[in-house]
Structure formats: C-alpha cells, structure tokens
Amino acid sequence: MSYDPSDRQAHLLSLAQGFVDYALDRGAEAAEVSLSEGQEFSCRYRAETLDQLEQAGSSGVGLRLFQGGRVVSGSSSDLAPSTVHSLVDDLVESAAFLDPDEHNQLAPAESLYSGPRIELGLLDVATTLEDAAPRLERARLAEATVRQFDDRITATEGAGFSAVYSTSVTAASNGLQRGISAGWQSLGADAICDDAGGKKRNGSWYSVSRDLGGLMAADTLGAIAAQRALARLGADKPPTGAYPVIWDRHAAASLLGLLSSILTATAVYRKQSYLAQRQGDLIASDCFTLIDDPLLPGLLGSSPVDGEGRKRRQNTLVEGGVLKTFLAAQYGSSRTGLPCTASASRPLAGTPGEATTNLYLKPGQRSPEALIADVEEGVFLEGTIGFGFNPVTGEFSRGGWGRMIRGGELAEPIGEFTVSASFEDILKGIEEVADDLVWDRRTVSPTLRVASMAVGGRG
C-alpha cells in the first residue's frame, strides 16, 4: 500500500490541533501535542537460521500542558480521542500539585518558521514499498559471508536488517504546526574469532542510510566485519608510555560526540560542562573546526525545523580552535541567557532539550596514510570502550584497541590498553586532521592525530 506523507501529516496535524483545543477548553493556559505514526521492520540471521523477525506499526501521543507557571506532561500509545481526552483531564487536574517554573514556556510565536516546505530528502519511497524478501536476503547474505569468509571465524552474533519510516507532527497553542516524514534502513553484521588463551576477538560493521540505494552491499559488509575480527587476532597490550595517537575516523567521531554533549545550554545550567563560560576562548588547536548542519540533504540528522518549530540553521560550535556556540533550546536558553540555536530535540512528551543533527569536523588536506607516515612510533586507535569521561573536569580515560605504528606504518594489533589525557590537552594537541570525511553516521570525523597521550598497557 502506498504511503502518502502529505496526507498523513495533514491528518495527524488536524488530530493534534483538536487535542490542543480540547486542552485549552479544559483549563490549560497553553498546550502542545505531538503525534507519531510509523512502521518498523527488523530481522536477524544467526547460524544460517532466521533468528528474529518483527514487523509492526507504532503510534504515540505526547502532551505538555501549561498552567500557572506549571507544566505537566504525559504520553500514550493510543491516539483515540477518548483516551487522549482522559489523559488531558488527568494532567490538568495534577498541575496544581507541581511547583511553578518560570523557564518552562513555548517558543515565541514570532520565532516559528512559516515559510514554504523545505525538502531535504528524508523519506525514500522505496523504504515504504519494499517487501520482506529482499530485506531477509540482505541479512542472510551478510551472515553467510561472515561465516564463510575464513576458517578462523568461529562464531557470530548474527547479521540484522532494520527499516523504519514514520510521520511525526506537533501542534501547539503558540501557532506551531510542524510535520516531518522520514525513514531509514540499516544493515549490520558481527564476527567472532578464537584467540590464544581463550580470548574472543570481535569485529563488526554496519551501514545505515535514508536512501535504500545508499546501503552497503550485504556481502561487502559481511566481509568487512570478518576482516575486522581477524585483524585483532594476536593483539597484545602495548608498552606503557606516552605516544602520538592517531584516532581513526570512527574513534574520532566518538570524541566529537563527547565534546558536543557538553556544548549545550542544558549542560551549562546543570553545571556539567568544564567549558561553561569559556565562549570565545581557544579550547582546541587551530585545525579544529566543529560544525553542526541540519540542512544537508538526505543525511541521517537532517530536518527543516527543530523540535520547537524554529527553522534549522548551520551552527559552528568551534572555529579554528575557538569556542563559538553552545546549542540552546527554549528552556535552556531561558535558564542560561544563551541564544536559541534552532537545535531543539523533543521527546514524545516532556521538555525539548538540545541535540546535534549532522555533526562533523572540518576535514584537512592530507590522507590518513600521510598522517601515519609522519609517526615513528605511536598508536593507531580504532575504537574505545568504557565511560571514562568527566564532563565537569574534562578528564578522559578509556579502554582502546587498534594497532601500533612503527616507522610510519601500521604494525601489530594491540588491545586491552587505556588512553588518557585531559580533554583540553587532547583538543589542543591535535596536530592535523585528515581528508577522509565520510557521511556514514550522524556524527562523523576524519582521522586525526594527537601529539601525545598517556597509554596504559604492560610494564
């Protein structure tokens, strides 16, 4: 059956506006209603067997009601008017038992976008039309490729495919009428090898895309997962010491994710950012420029308006090492005085906070191989594990795996070590950023080289 995003948005917006009107009639001073409907498919193959198959529709309603400086919120998976009306009645009654908070407010009407529709290619019609057979085949082929790739592959957690598409709308008493239809699909595979001493070496890979044609071929993806597991065989701890550390592009992206989490108004008012009050300061090297751009067509984080109805815009968080911007939604802006940046991300119910969209580090001019060739002895970091980041002090320490660099070339695999430094030293110690920016995630980074970090291994 065909899926018409425009018709679906119009229907849901009409329903949401009706719920807003009902809430105002029942005594709310202001009201906001979000509705979502969609379809989800997922399957997984393990050991040549279809291990999981799920297909289901999903729906939800979330409400925020304002009364006397108080805000109450609630949600339901049932969009029936009788159910939502009952929820509204309960919320209005419960508002009197909450403390007022002057910062809880809807976005000003004049800040809402009311221009023509902005098309960003968020929904590929092929996602809504594809039946189960090719989806199952992708997962089956990826898993089979892993198992058959090499005799040293002894097990797998399987390979899975998922596809999701949905329409989400928000209507509010400030005039907000927001509707977005979007979809994506993903394919992932995992491989396991047995190493000396009974150790298990894992490798995995996945591909995700809004465009069905942009998904990586299943056999290619399975081969990469297998190769990543095999590359870790024989890994040993590196000697403890201080080394130049080259972060591969996926490891570097995780670094950007940590940084962006403390560049928000929410982190500032909660006193969970060591960078609070540092706007305008040099916090990184001059080759570090961090940009969040929600208006790039077809990417996973793209959207035309934010969760509060403001027109999206590009935000440069760090430029040439200088901290320029904290992301701020309405509540965080009111609490901190920081300007709103059209970065609001909303839960189904509750107060919108800030989130990045398509976050990336501006690439440099040379290849990753050139960055490696400059290092006589160092560490090539392929991934990190653990939660060793203190947002208040900026101290960073995580487990890692990768390879040693010797004589400007990648050498033996290493694992079970830690990399440590203050975030300030990491960012200011970035000597060069490579040119390998690939949009395969919402947060992406080229490979980068940090002058020196403490590596905890053996000895």
Tens of pLDDT, residues 346-361: 888 889 999 999 999 9
What does the block give as tokens for 216?
A: 């990586």
Long-range own/partner contacts, residues 205-210 (CB < 8 A, 24 or more apart): 207/440, 208/184, 208/300, 208/440, 208/441, 209/184, 209/185, 209/300, 210/121, 210/122, 210/123, 210/124, 210/127, 210/182, 210/183, 210/184, 210/298, 210/299, 210/300
Q: Which of 319, 238, 237, 249 is nearest to 281 (CA)?
A: 319
Residue 65's pLDDT is 97
155 and 29 in a common domain: yes
197 and 244 in a common domain: no
Q: Is pLDDT at 47 greater than 70 in this prediction? A: yes
Q: Which amino acid is at 74?
A: G
Q: Which amino acid is at 282?
A: L
221 and 249 in a common domain: no
Residue 196's pLDDT is 87
**440-444-449-450 Cα dihedral, nearest 10 degrees:** -140
Answer whether residue 272 is part of any domain: no
Q: Which of 115, 74, 120 is nearest to 94 (CA)?
A: 74
Answer whether residue 167 is part of any domain: yes
More confident of the two residues 198 and 217? 217
12 and 106 in a common domain: yes
Answer whether residue 442 is part of any domain: yes
Answer whether residue 122 is part of any domain: yes
Answer whether residue 391 is part of any domain: yes
248 and 172 in a common domain: no
245 and 129 in a common domain: no
- Which residue's structure tokens are 């590359």? 231
What does pLDDT average to over the chain? 96
Q: Which of 227, 192, 225, 179 is nearest to 206 (CA)?
A: 225
Q: Is pLDDT at 1 greater than 80 in this prediction? A: no
Residue 3's pLDDT is 80
Q: Which amino acid is at 445?
A: S
**How far is residue 218's CA from residue 143's CA, in Å, rounded to a whole number?**
9
Where does the pLDDT of residue 430 fall: very low under 50, low under 70, confident under 90, or very high at 90 and above?
A: very high
Answer whether residue 292 is part of any domain: no
Q: What is the largest CA-CA distance in the chain?
A: 74
**How far is residue 206's CA from residue 333's CA, in Å, rounded to a whole number?**
37
Q: Is pLDDT at 458 greater than 80 in this prediction? A: yes
Residue 68's pLDDT is 87
Answer whether residue 328 is part of any domain: no
Answer whether residue 96 is part of any domain: yes
Tally of domains within the chain: 2
23 and 48 in a common domain: yes
**132-135-141-143 Cα dihedral, nearest 10 degrees:** -100
Where does the pLDDT of residue 5 fall: very low under 50, low under 70, confident under 90, or very high at 90 and above?
A: confident
Q: Is pLDDT at 2 greater than 90 in this prediction? A: no
Domain that holds residue 156: 5-228
**How far is residue 76's CA from residue 437's CA, in Å, rounded to a whole number?**
41
189 and 242 in a common domain: no
Span 409-433, average pLDDT: 97
Q: How large a percentage of the chain has pLDDT more than 90?
A: 95
159 and 21 in a common domain: yes
222 and 201 in a common domain: yes
171 and 73 in a common domain: yes
Span 434-458, average pLDDT: 97
CATH code: domain of residue 164: 3.30.2290.10
